[in-house]
Structures are given as structure tokens and as C-alpha cells.
Amino acid sequence: MANVTTPLLASDRRETDPDSDPSNDSEDALQGQSRSTQTGRSWHMRLRESLLFAWALLATAGILVLAVWASHQQQTSFEKPAGKRNLIFMVSDGMGPASLSMTRSFRQYTEGLEYGDTLTLDKHFWGSSRTRSSSSLVTDSAAGATAFSCGKKSYNGAISMLPDSTPCGTVLEAAKKAGYHTGLVVTTDITDATPACFASHVDVRSQNDDIAVQEVGNGTLGRVVDLMFGGGRCHFLPNGAEGGCRQDDIDVVKMAKNEYGWNYIGDRPAFDEFWEGKKEVPLPMLGLFADTDIPFELDRRNMNEIYPSLSEMAKTALRALDKATEGSDNGFFLMIEGSRIDHAGHGNDPAAQVREVLEYDRTFKAVLDFLEESHTPGVLVATSDHETGGLSVSRQVHAEYPQYLWYPAVLANASSSSEHLAHRLHSHLAQSSDNSTDKLKKYINNELIIPGFGIHDASDEELAALASHPEQAQYLFAYMISVRAQIGWSTHGHSAVDVNIYSSGGPGAEAIRGNVENTDVGKYLRDYLNVDVDAITEELNKNIQSKRNLDMIGYEIAADTTDKVSALNEDHWVAHEELETARST
């Protein structure tokens, strides 16, 4: 009999005589213990079992290898889509993951929403992007946008130029060459780094005057853009003209209209004729609605009769490009940038930034709605070039153990940006004859801080700092609101944090799932449109007269751009602030 130590299926019989009952052989066979397996043929069975095991192991390994290869192929390549298609690429300049978290909570607070009510962007999260440039672990917008436009890494400051100072073809240029219509919509200067990287090539981003003429068509490839909406009018007007900031006497608006066939609008009433559908937008169309940047959304909404919003410009551009491609075999490529998220980060202004992100989210939804309603297949891809400000959605304001909270109500109370209040202070100083400290402190508190921020507890130290150092007013105003909201910042520049990717999904979009390089985003754009960016690079380099050919065709540029090192060392945000300060006084 079996006992507790007897193995399962072990025989309870003792050894038997070979001449015993044959029926025992049948029972032994069922237990794998027939005479044949116990004697001469056992080594054959063991060999067979070993071979079968080895075969199964190899087959399993092969299947695993094939599965990994198939997954890799799916993420790195895809069958090029056939037929007409549209591609909308959105850039949230300077927006990191913390900006989304702050804006989501702000919206839930101000609209009385449950914690599960998220942004449209949240619902279309796709992956994340690594952002370093070829020259630094912390990229700037120029190198970041070059990664998107060319699919190549380059140095900080490069506008679609490679480290060897040769131009790289862009997806927009290749799309235009392939028969697509193209567009750029931004809320900053249209010659700023991100839009510039899709339609121009210069060594350093500060060459705004040369960027402007290339964008309208004065370059090796001719006109490659069909629609441009944004700010930056001053770079299109000659030096000495009202609102002009060029270093030469070239009227780029006149050049655009007379030599390259552009239609031009320069104010909100002219835009509204197209926005409201009273007229169809004639292409090519150049719309410049501000001398420099369109104001922060927090301020713009109080000047709605002067400046269009990002979502209004984007919707108008989508409608115009869709109409223009109705009878075409090709669709369009449109780049839309939420430009001033970055500026709010540079200024460490959380009240301005949440409104910028909300407007970007509204624009993202508008693009999704367009794709849903369109008869032409299309894809939306959105990401950031980098994060700005080193934002932390909490702040330790005392030496004691930190509190686990922040206050969205402080941001909700603000009706003006720190930039707008600083401009008002500078204008007051320029116009007032009595700027004694006491009177200035009273003006700052009663006319700026209380009505602009809803802050009623400004300290004497804060007011004295503003009165004594008005040149630092923007940063001081932003500090006041950040501390009270318990929002932290680590820098007035960029950070190296990975940024989010969002998408509507579509053919091949798995290539940018997970954590990818920013250049992978650029490669996906060209792959989806099935355009030859390398051929554009070859054409640019074949026609360029030298590696440093920065002169305009038929014109003489006044700016000295020979000192590349000096230009690269100039911080673009400092230059931006100097220009804004000069124009506000």
C-alpha cells in the first residue's frame, strides 16, 4: 500500500517474477513502466525526448525573436499611406508635464469640476520625447524645431542648419515640393525660432530680418508657405517706418505682395472678414496682427477687438487650406504653435501660463473636430520642443516642513499678466513727472497689483523693490503671484525634462509611441506625408553659394551676421525682453 511518502503513480506492487500475470504488463504500460521501457529501448526514448525538448526550445526562442522584430518594425516603419491626406503638427513651446498638471487642476477649480474631468490633451496622450540638442543637454527652441522640421539634431540657435553650417531640408519644404498646401500659425513673432525652422535657413535665430524675407519666398526654394498668421510685423517693415524694427530699409510686406503674390492683412477687422466667413481666404495669405508678439491670452481677451486668438487663427487656417485643396490630389501640412506658453515660463508667470495652456487645449480640440468632420484622412501630432522654467506645482515658502498644497484661487484672481503690468509701470514712469518712492509705491499697489492680481496684502518690501527696480518689474510681479499660489520655478530658462507627445492616432503613429527622440517625431512627419526631405537638402546645398550665404536674392542685407559665436551667446529671452521694454516706453 502507498503511504505519505509514496510518489504519485508509484506502483504498490513488489518486484514480481517475469512469468507472472501478463495483465500486470498492461498496468505497467499505463504507468510508463512496461518491460520495453525499462530495458533495451529506453535510451531511444530519452534521445527522442531530448530532441523534442531542444526543438521546442528553439521554436519558442524563434517566436519570441519574431515578435520582438515585428514590434520593432511596427514602431519604426509603416506602410506609407496612399491617397490624399492632411497633417497638422502642433507645438506647445515650453510646455512640460507640470504645466499640464497645473492647468488641469486650475480648470477643475475654476469650473467646479470633478478630479476625473481632464483636458482634451490628457485624453490623447501618446508618449514622451527626449529633447537634448547636439550642443547641449538643454535645448533651445531653434534646435528643438530643427529636430521636428529636418528630423536632425543640431546646435542651439540653429534655424534648420546642421552643425557643419549646411542647411537641411524641412518637411514643410518637401511637402510644398510634393504638391501639398502649407501653413504656419503662431502667437509669437512669425520669424521666431519655431516657425522659422520650417521655412528658412540661417545660422542663428537672431537673424529675424533674413528669416522674414525667406519666409515670403526670397530664398533658394522660392515661396514654400501658402498661409502665415501671427505676430512679428516689425520685421516686415523698413527701418524708420512706423512699427518697423528691421536694420535695413527693405519693405518685406511690399516685397511679398509685389514679387511673390501674397495677400496681406494686418489687423483684427480684416481678419474677421475671413474668421466670420464673410469672405474666402485667398492664398497665399500673410496675416500679421502685432508688431512683436500677440499678447498673452490672459491680456488678449481684454483686447479681443485688436488681436485674434490662437484657436481663431487655427480654425481660419484649417478652413482656408481645406478649401484650397478641395480639387487637389494632395492635402495640406499645417504647423500650429502655442508660442507664448514658453514666454510665461521664461517670466515665471503661472497665471499667464495656465491661460496659454487652456487656449492651446481649445485649439487642439478644434483640430480634432476638424479631422472628425473632414472627408480627407488626417493625423494630428502635438508635442513640445522643451520645458521652460523648471516648473514645480508646489513650493516650500517657509523653513518648516513643507505643506502639501498649492492655491489655484490665486491664479484665478489675476486678470493681467506680469508682463502687462510691467509695461504699464514703464509707461507710467515715462509719462509721470513725479516718481517719488512713496507716490510710486501707492500707484503700483492701487493701480496695478490690486486690480491686476487681486492681491490685497502686498508688503512694503515688495512695493519698495518694484519702485526701486522697475527694470525688474516683470520678474518681481511674477514672484508675488507665484509665492502666494505656492508655485515653484527653478530657472528663467529652459530645462532638460522630457516632454509629452499627443496624437489623434493614425497610420504609423505607433512609431512615436513610448519614449522617443525629438528627431523621431520629425521623421514621422515626413513618413506620414511620404515626402522626400533628403532631396530638398540636396537641392539647398547644390544651390547655396557658400556655407555662409546669408544674403537675400537681389537685396543687400544691412545686418552683420559674421560673428556666429557672439550671436549664439546672446540669450534670446534677454533680447526679447529688451525689445519689448523699448517698445513699451
Per-residue CA distances from 195 to 22, 42, 118, 230, 445 (Å):
92, 77, 29, 10, 39
What span, in angstroms and rounded, lies between the C-alpha atoms of 143 and 486? 32
Catalytic choice (141, 149, 311, 503)? 141
What span, in angstroms and rounded, lies between the C-alpha atoms of 450 and 544? 57
- Stated as kind and residue range, the H or E segment containing 188 is strand 181-189
What span, in angstroms and rounded, lies between the C-alpha atoms of 46 and 33? 14
DSSP helix/strand/coil, 491:
coil
CB 86 within 8 A of CB 331: yes
Give the number of other Cβ atoms within 10 Å of residue 541's Cβ. Answer: 15
Q: For residue 395, which of 486, 260, 522, 524 has the smallest C-alpha distance?
A: 486
Q: Is 583 exposed, middle or buried (0-12, 13-18, 19+ CB in 10 A)?
A: middle
Cell numbers at 366, concatenated: 478644434
CB 418 within 8 A of CB 481: yes
Beta bridge partners, 285, equal: 227, 263
The number of C-alpha atoms within 13 Å of 248 and in the hemisphere containing its C-beta is 18
Per-residue CA distances from 207 to 66, 213, 247, 366 (Å):
50, 11, 10, 33
> Is the Cα dihedral 244, 248, 249, 250 positive or negative?
negative
Catalytic-residue membership of 141: yes
Q: What is the 3-state secondary structure (H, E, C) of 91-113?
A: ECCECCHHHHHHHHHHHHHHHCC
CB environment 198-233: b (16+ within 10 A), e (fewer): bbbbbbbbbbbbbbbbbbbbbbbbebbbbbbbbbbb
Q: Looking at the annotation, which residues are catalytic?
A: 141
